[in-house]
Structure 1
């Protein structure tokens, strides 16, 4: 048996840290009190409890040690954020430092956001302000909606599908094969029958397959998840076509429920002109979005909006919290609504629109450069997700923190992604690619992203887009 090597807990997926580009430990070397370089190892992260001989000096020493480790972790995070391309998180978060004084308070939004609580340390007024903003964004009047600030997109999906199941207990959940993985987990948790719908090469739900499956199960209601920005290809399901398909198959309004998972593109689509909008003016039941993705809150959070008349199905009065139990979670993060309220006010509609336009522009730039370099790639309309051939080098993938699926990888062009960052990535990719593929050809992606987007020798000359 070989020697035990401590695992750096800052490494990716619990594996040994990458030595890519001389970053063997993922954290810059630190100089300790003896003037010697050191790196953080596993024992630095143990939670220890010792009886101090000199309580005051021991406390000071412990505080110094903890501060040093947190500072090193901050350096690590700063380095990782500078190369963060594949995951849908916005790392422009420095403006939130203005709210750091709130961390001295334990803020708990337990219970219904529209019901005051005897627990005085809550931020429900901020929460309702955020909810009103999203209700206006998604076209539903204040007296017709209900919602809350969640712990993320998955919780919003949990609540939205719960509404559908409570309204239609015998309903079948229909969701595309490119839906977020939480949908299939929800089906298992709620013990719901789930029909997986095929998707097009773009990642959009195939409504022909939806029609076929609806007709097979005409005797049972339909609970449909419509994705506004699929996880991997950034595709937007055609809500109008889904509704028309339901009508064509003979489903009346009381026989279907539509939930919109807008975690990724929920902040993009509303700011685009001449595109189909997802709105409560259409027959949808709920919408969920993530706050830590495009908006860039520094903690996972999100928003769920549904129709007020539905919430009585699950509402229960809880006397000892002096509120109603209407949410998935009991205690809820009271800081998140303040952070969301702050950035929505700080940026305003114009600032958010500028972020959207910047991301779309940079995504098109990346797609153009990949195509010019002869690399198979795809960018959907209304999307900030650029899909391209999967690099065969795991060190490269970890360094740029790319998400990969089969033969594909993607970059999600969030507001923190600059042209300079993309140039560094492209330069690295093109340089490394020359060594990855000698006489061996890059993979064909025609089936994954469409013939016209594939740059392999077979398809490169067949379609010019």
Structure 2
């Protein structure tokens, strides 16, 4: 008999372990595995009820599957460390009665439509809150609640492209993957800018590439919380680089991708302020990451004077089409409104302080254990050497890139969870490496963060 991982019927391949510490389960033969897989397919099939009695049985069966799935989600959330989502969502149960309504915020959030079941008043209140956070007056901004950060990026870059049709998109190699996708979708020329070891955009490389293309406008993506290292691009330095390269105000457009840290850096005193008082054209912020909405959503803010470039009146819906999506989720604005009212500025600031403290706790103990690791000063993302066991990575749901992995310390991540992770990592790391030295990660995260024997000795000296 060959050892095999327990079947998890909620994973895409049916074999993701639901409990890392109960992997030693034996499955006797391949035929049994095939029979089990076939049964799982039948469990998830959409079946047309044949009569009333069968429909009742089917309802009981569906309830059983959903209940088991809820147990699966609860267990997976208890080990969710690698993805930037806040899983403290229980307070949203108070809004569950709204699921009985088909709510659609079709069209412009500031204009009525002929569809009466919408939450546009809640949406505008959410937008007003974010506009205040980002320093732009009510009569100067336009925005909407999106389906997530990528949609916000799509809209922001579209604004830049419409204002500067011949513009080149400049984005760092640490940018979210949506940026290159957007360049392809909009058929834009794109320059990828090198990044520093911290993950921040290298403005020397930006200047070199701007000077190579001085005859064309620049559309710059500034990342506030890079996907993997949580780095924050230096907005002031980007603006100064544009000026030094000979680009006037009407020759560049800046979009801020703040999906990750758009609700972190505004609460930090030591950080250069990101605000519409500076020459930015748009910002995209996620609502399901730090804020913890239970569905993908976000906010796009731009300057009101720009929206006329893409807004079109649509007669049969009796409103303006000014968003990337036509029909839009009407539930997410009220979920965002609800949590902002519960937490407020004070509550969000406390969440930021707690996450920063816990991230520093994790980084301290990784360093103490001799594990290469890094943490940017304004970040809640702790980067460290990649674990050597794919099942360990899957259990803790880590994101990996090359020789690195990371933990994103969201509000649901407790010290107890981090202690369990550290114990598991340090114990298993001794097995993975044995007498071998851990890898050198100086090139990936900087010499000062590398704990390989060569660089560790240099730190001691």
TM-score, normalising length from structure 1? 0.93
Q: What is the CA RMSD across the aligned residues, in angstroms?
A: 1.9
Whether the 8 Å contact between 2:218 and 2:252 is mirrored in structure 1 is yes
Alpha-carbon spacing, 1:248–1:212, altered in 2? closer, same or farther (3 Å): same
1:20 deviates by: 2.7
CA–CA distance in 2 between the matches of 1:316 and 1:178? 35
CA–CA distance in 1 between the matches of 2:154 and 2:24? 40
Q: What 5-or-longer segments of structure 2 have no aligned partner?
A: 26-36
Whether the 8 Å contact between 2:6 and 2:16 is mirrored in structure 1 is no
Cα deviation per residue 1:215-255 (whole Å; 9 max; x = unaligned)? 00000000000000000000000000000000000000000
Alpha-carbon spacing, 1:365–1:199, altered in 2? closer, same or farther (3 Å): same
Cα deviation per residue 1:13-61 (whole Å; 9 max; x = unaligned)? 6362237311689xxxxxxxxxxxx998222111011422xx1x22221
CA–CA distance in 1 between the matches of 2:175 and 2:168? 16
Cα deviation per residue 1:77-109 (whole Å; 9 max; x = unaligned)? 000000000000000000000000000000000
Whether the 8 Å contact between 1:203 and 1:230 is mirrored in structure 2 is yes
Residue matched to 2:209: 213
Residue matched to 1:42: 41
Cα deviation per residue 1:348-382 (whole Å; 9 max; x = unaligned)? 11100000000000000000000000000000010
Whether the 8 Å contact between 1:17 and 1:24 is mirrored in structure 2 is no
Comparing 288-297 with 436-445, greater Cα deviation is found at: 436-445
**Does 2:261 correspond to 1:262?**
no
Comparing 430-439 with 147-156, greater Cα deviation is found at: 430-439
Residue matched to 1:32: none
CA–CA distance in 2 between the matches of 1:209 and 1:7? 49
Residue matched to 1:306: 302
Whether the 8 Å contact between 1:452 and 1:464 is mirrored in structure 2 is no
CA–CA distance in 2 between the matches of 1:186 and 1:440? 43
Alpha-carbon spacing, 1:40–1:373, altered in 2? closer, same or farther (3 Å): farther
CA–CA distance in 1 between the matches of 2:201 and 2:71? 42
Cα deviation per residue 1:105-148 (whole Å; 9 max; x = unaligned)? 00000000000111100000000000000000000000000000
The match for 2:56 among 54, 60, 84 is 60
Residue matched to 1:425: 421
Residue matched to 2:326: 330
Alignment of structure 1 residues 31-180 onto 2, 5 Å: 41-52=40-51, 55=52, 57-180=53-176
CA–CA distance in 1 between the matches of 2:460 and 2:130? 41
Whether the 8 Å contact between 1:8 and 1:42 is mirrored in structure 2 is no
**Does 2:355 correspond to 1:356?**
no
CA–CA distance in 1 between the matches of 2:259 and 2:39? 35
CA–CA distance in 2 between the matches of 1:269 and 1:79? 31
The match for 1:246 among 217, 234, 242 is 242
Residue matched to 1:339: 335
CA–CA distance in 1 between the matches of 2:434 and 2:227? 32
Alpha-carbon spacing, 1:9–1:151, altered in 2? closer, same or farther (3 Å): farther
The match for 1:370 among 362, 366, 369 is 366
1:439 deviates by: 2.2
1:329 deviates by: 0.3
1:258 deviates by: 0.2
Residue matched to 2:16: 17
Residue matched to 1:33: none
1:7 deviates by: 7.5
CA–CA distance in 1 between the matches of 2:325 and 2:9? 29
CA–CA distance in 2 between the matches of 1:417 and 1:331? 34
Whether the 8 Å contact between 1:145 and 1:306 is mirrored in structure 2 is yes
CA–CA distance in 2 between the matches of 1:147 and 1:340? 15
Residue matched to 1:30: none
